[in-house]
Every structure is written in C-alpha cells, then in structure tokens.
Structure 1
C-alpha cells in the first residue's frame, strides 16, 4: 500500500475530486487531505474537513484521512495542540525558523514535521535536532510538488534542502508526499521513489518512505488518540458477560432429568432393561425395582420353605382328624 499524506484541501477547490481519482489510478491506497492553519488557534476547535466529503464519484477503495498542518510562528499559541489533534487523524507542524524547528523536534507533540522546502533557510539542519525528533517517533516530510510546478529558484532550494535533510537524518524517519494542488503535480509512487534516489535517498529507503514509514506515522497518530500514552489500548475492560439463556435449554434439561430417572428405575440410556433384569433376577420386597442381594434371596427362600412345611403339616393334621 502506498500513502500520500499531504493533499491540500480548500472548501472551494473544484478540482479535488479529479485529483483524488488520479491518485487512486496511480496506485495510492491511502490519501490524507491537509488543512493548513496559519496564525493563532481558533476558540472553538473542530475539524474543518467535512465527513463525509461533499463529492460524488470518489473511489470506494480509496481510504481518505484528515490532517491539519499548523504553521509555527510563536511558541505561546500552541498550548491547545493536544485538543486540536483530537479532531484530526494526523497533526503536522510547519516550522518557519530554527527556534520553532527545535521546538517542534523537541517538546511539542506532533506526528509529522513538514517544512516548506521551496524556500531558502538561513540555517543548517543539525543532526542532533532531527535525530531527537526521529527518536520520539516523529516523521520528517519531503514534498516534491513544489519542485515540479515551482520556479527555478524553488527547485534549487528544494534539492538543496532535501540533500541536507537526508544527510542529517541519515535516511531514517522520512516520508515522501506530493502536496499537489492539482492533478498535474501528482506522480506515481515509483516515479517519486526514483526522484528521491536522484536527490540522494536510496531506492529501498524511498520505498519505505512511501509505505512503511507513512503507515507508522498514521498508526502512531491513531494510537495516541485511542490508547493510554500510545502504549496500552483498552479493548475489553474485563467485565463478566451476562449468561445467555438459549432457546430450548429448559426442555433439554427436563429431558435429561427424565432420562436419568429412567436409568435409576432399572433402564439404560436406550430405554432397555438392564442385564441383571434380563437374566431374570428378582427384585426387592419394597417393589422399588432394585435387585436383591444373595443374603436377602437366601432369607426369602428359607421363609418360603418354612411356610410350605407349615402348610403341609397343617394339611396332614386336618386329614388325621377326619
């Protein structure tokens, strides 16, 4: 899956549906619409990009995310960045000088650090500053759109700045985006990878910048908003579910009890007589159907013999008397 995490969004842009369709045809699976905020944060924080989008005939398989890029001009206006980040899928910061760059790479919490590489910066990108941002999980964004549609001076600044960033980051923690304001500035994923290879980024690192690193930025931003400190994601609180009463459970229970009662009355599980009853074993005097023991059978035989003898003696006495 290829990612393009920087497609500028404006409310009156009529060419945006054409740009999204063209990006999908080029092979991109995930596209992030970027809303750029300049100046102080508004009093009421809300997502400026509507959901769902008011466009028709968009590719159904194209995954669209919402991103905001805050231009850093003053360190005092960023006290509510966390509340602003909760309204979007991705939070990006755009430093304008060395002080704000150090602030974005260090203390400020964001997902992507996006620089306007078409302008000339009066400072050099330091290895320590950018490495600190990468260790914190922040990604450095390289946008090629300015180099395609800008003037010659902008292209020279873009190449110079990208070369410095690749050197300072040692080709790690980079993502490549288009920042295309129209379909004309869009390029295929492999074209962008080859272009980055010309600037000094290896082809393998360029492929990771458009797939693995971009996905890590998106997933990391989602974990920050849906988990505890980006480490623990509570899926289930451990509550004991209520027992489910299935249909026909009472009938099955009654049948089981009935079958058990039949087995205790001398019948097996299939309703047949037991083996001892089949062989003609006698039952107890109580009539419960339980076979008698050998001692009880001997006592019963002795009793029947005595009764027979007494009857015989009585009949003999009656005969003599007559």
Structure 2
C-alpha cells in the first residue's frame, strides 16, 4: 500500500482524472489537501465531499501555513474537522511551537526554498516524541533546478536533525499530474537525497500508515473529550432536577407533618369539650 498524503484538491472536472492517474501509478491511499495561508478565516472551510473510486482510500487534509503566532490558539478549531492536519511554519518561533505544543499530524516544510531557520535535533526530537512526522514534498523540485538543489540540501539537513531519517514521510504536493511520480520513482529520488532504500520505501508506506492511524486516534480522542464533557453536563442537569424534586417532596412531607399536628389539636379540643359536657 502506497500513500500520497498531499494531493492539492483539483477542480471537480479534474478530480476523476487525477484519482485515476494516481491509482494507475500504484497509490492506494490519498489525502486531498486544502491549503490556507495568511490570516485564518473566521468561517472554518468545510472539507469537500469525498468521491468514491475503486481501489482508493480517500482522506481530507488541511495544510495551514503559519505566519502569525497570535492565531495559534485557534488551531484547535480545525482539529476535528479534517482527517489530517498539517502545519507549515515560516519562522523559527513557529517551528518551535509546532514541534513542542501545537496539535497536528504533520509538519510540512517547503524545501523548494531555503529555510529561514536551522533544523535542530532537540527541536525536531520533541516533535518525534509527540508522534508528529515531518513531510517532504518533491514535486517543486521535479522541473526547477534551483528548487531541486534547495530540496536536496533541505532533506539532508532534516536527515541530520532526525539522526538518520526517523519520522520522515514523502508526498507529492503536485498541482497537476505532470508533477507526480510513481512509488518506485519516489523511492529512487529519496535515495538520491541520501535516504536508504528501505527507509525511502517506509516514507511512502509504513510511516504513512502510522500517520493515518495516529490522526484517527487524535480525532477520536478529541471526540471523546467532547462526549465526556457533554455527558458530565447532562448528569449535572439531571442532578439539579432530581435535587429539586427531592426538595419538593420534602416540602410536601413538611405539609403532611403540619396536617398531623392539626389532627392532635382537634383531638385535644374534642377531649376538653367532652369534659365540659360531663361536668355539666
């Protein structure tokens, strides 16, 4: 099973052709990606409805290019909406936040351009400990010579930071079918970058499977938290209603007690009346 978890969502007219082509190349799991950059919108973009295609498993993905640290607190709004959430930090501060605190499944770095920050082992290791993978996208380096040089240099820096390539996945990010390569070609490209052959195969197969499973666990965990909170709220309201009913019942019991006291008073009055009549 081969994966490409970064397929930019094509137009409705191009989608069937794109899916058929990727299936023919040998891919079995694809993530159709929606990208957002700049200021995050107030209205959350809705994932597109996924078509059905024989032999393909399709997922939704959101790629957020981070440029404003003040918007980080809003990322939780995207957690349960898309099946895969990828972050693309543009500064060292945002890269550190993505590795250490922000919720995501992938950190996708644009290696077609020179990174404005260094990849340090300690920072990268923090992301790996949290189960986050690093994504390398190859399509930009297919046709452009300078982009290819930057890509090779960036991947080698990532290999050093991960101490040999742990947690790396490879996707296309191809905007059209001309930028896509088959799984074996991708493996050969990765070997040229400095990865071992089995490691390169794992980057489009085994490690990708881990990303998808962990993304599903993240979404289930988020839903579980919501369900627990909602269940607790229901129990609290039920307890308040039950407490009110008990108080009402206690109040009725109090009224019953007053009724018994009145009955005793009537008995005493009747007894005194009898005594008076006897004396008379």
TM-score (normalizing by structure 1): 0.66
- With CA pairs under 8 Å and 6+ residues apart, which has the higher RCO, 1 or 2? 2
Is 1:4 matched with 2:4?
A: yes
Deviation per residue, 1:53-80 (Å, 9 max, x gap) = 4xxxx63221110000011001111212
Verify the 8 A CA contact 1:223 1:230 in the aligned structure 2: no
5 Å matches for 1:98-113?
Answer: 98-113=92-107
**Aligned-CA RMSD value:** 2.2
Distance in 2, Cα, partners of 1:180 & 1:153: 17
Residue 159 of structure 1 is matched in structure 2 by: 152
Residue 112 of structure 2 is matched in structure 1 by: 118
Distance in 1, Cα, partners of 2:8 & 2:116: 26
Residue 16 of structure 1 is matched in structure 2 by: 15
Distance in 2, Cα, partners of 1:230 & 1:113: 25
Verify the 8 A CA contact 1:174 1:213 in the aligned structure 2: yes
Distance in 1, Cα, partners of 2:139 & 2:2: 17
Residue 297 of structure 1 is matched in structure 2 by: none
SS in 2 for 1:80: helix
204, 223, 226: which one pairs with 2:198?
204
Distance in 2, Cα, partners of 1:185 & 1:225: 31
Distance in 1, Cα, partners of 2:185 & 2:224: 34
Higher alpha-carbon deviation: 220-229 or 158-167? 220-229
Residue 130 of structure 1 is matched in structure 2 by: 124
Distance in 2, Cα, partners of 1:218 & 1:115: 19
Distance in 2, Cα, partners of 1:228 & 1:107: 16
| Aligned CA distance change for structure 1 residues 189 and 106 (closer, same or farther; 3 Å) | same
Deviation per residue, 1:115-148 (Å, 9 max, x gap) = 1111112332111111111111000001110110
Distance in 2, Cα, partners of 1:225 & 1:172: 24
SS in 2 for 1:180: coil
SS in 2 for 1:103: helix
Distance in 2, Cα, partners of 1:97 & 1:34: 22
Cα deviation, residue 33, structure 1: 0.6
Deviation per residue, 1:67-110 (Å, 9 max, x gap) = 00011001111212122121100000001121111111111111
Deviation per residue, 1:250-274 (Å, 9 max, x gap) = xxxxxxxxxxxxxxxxxxxxxxxxx
Residue 48 of structure 2 is matched in structure 1 by: 50
| Aligned CA distance change for structure 1 residues 211 and 230 (closer, same or farther; 3 Å) | farther
Relative to its length, the structure with more helix (as a share) is 2
Distance in 1, Cα, partners of 2:124 & 2:68: 20
SS in 2 for 1:93: strand
Count of residues in Structure 1 that have an aligned counterpart in Structure 2: 227
Bigger radius of gyration among the two: 1
| Aligned CA distance change for structure 1 residues 123 and 79 (closer, same or farther; 3 Å) | closer
